A and B are shown apart, each in its own frame.
Chain A
Amino acid sequence: AQSVTQLDSHVSVSEGTPVLLRCNYSSSYSPSLFWYVQHPNKGLQLLLKYTSAATLVKGINGFEAEFKKSETSFHLTKPSAHMSDAAEYFCVVSDRRGTYKYIFGTGTRLKVLA
């Protein structure tokens, strides 16, 4: 069975400093992994997804994530935080060989300080 763990419920960074949001997954086969962002009272926007083509995945708005099979991790990073990055971030693994359901992490709230 698939599962995903977001290690931090809240992360605070200063504007212009790096962002690291941590995610560990469990999957019995090569997983589909995604990062989504949710701004207040909005739907989820896809930031990036792992497709097995490359372990370093680049997404929108300067975000990227590295798939590390040995560590079962898919951490999200950004070199320099912007005020507009303040939002809730969800790491997701998909049951792509069965029901196609998403298994959501509990979310990480990113706060960006001026």
Chain B
Amino acid sequence: GAVVSQHPSRVICKSGTSVKIECRSLDFQATTMFWYRQFPKQSLMLMATSNEGSKATYEQGVEKDKFLINHASLTLSTLTVTSAHPEDSSFYICSVRAGGGGVPGTDTQYFGPGTRLTVL
């Protein structure tokens, strides 16, 4: 499967600052990447779908001006949390989609290790 990295793994910032999280597909050219948010002891919540060379598609209730996504290349997508506040503290995970889905199982997602954001 695809190998996905995220940087940084952990970040602590002050309220009002912006934080950028990188998601890299190390061995696979990913047309589509996904960004998720996970609260403690909960499942993953999809924030947005990131498509290379086009604007990201955000899920209902996710502020696109708050969470800026850029997918400038087939191996890199970035999530910028602008003017972060304590309620933005969470675990952010990205994934890459491998395959086209024509056959069940070919649309597998491979996940990064996650980034723990703490806003003071």
Taking beta carbons and an 8 Å cutoff, which residues of A are in contact with B? 30-34, 36, 41-46, 49-52, 90, 94, 96-97, 99-102, 104-107
Q: How many residues of B contact A (CB 8 A)?
A: 28
Interface of B is mostly: strand
A64 to chain B, nearest CB (A): 15
**Residue in chain B with minimal CB distance to A101:** B46
B101-A51 in contact (CB<8A): no
Q: How far is the CA of A77 from the CA of B81 in the complex (A)?
A: 39
A99-B108 in contact (CB<8A): no
Q: How many A-B residue pairs have CB under 8 A?
A: 74
11 contacts between A and B (CB under 8 A): A32-B105, A32-B107, A33-B105, A41-B116, A42-B114, A43-B114, A44-B44, A46-B110, A49-B105, A90-B44, A96-B107
Determine the chain A residues whose CB is within 8 A of the CB of B110 once the complex forms. 46
Determine the chain A residues whose CB is within 8 A of the CB of B43 once the complex forms. 90, 104-107
Taking beta carbons and an 8 Å cutoff, which residues of B are in contact with A? 1, 4, 6, 32, 34, 42-44, 46, 49, 91, 93, 95, 97, 101, 103-114, 116
A100-B106 in contact (CB<8A): no
**Residue in chain A with minimal CB distance to B44:** A104
Given the interface contacts A32-B101, A96-B107, A102-B109, does A41 sit within 8 Å of B114 by beta carbon?
yes
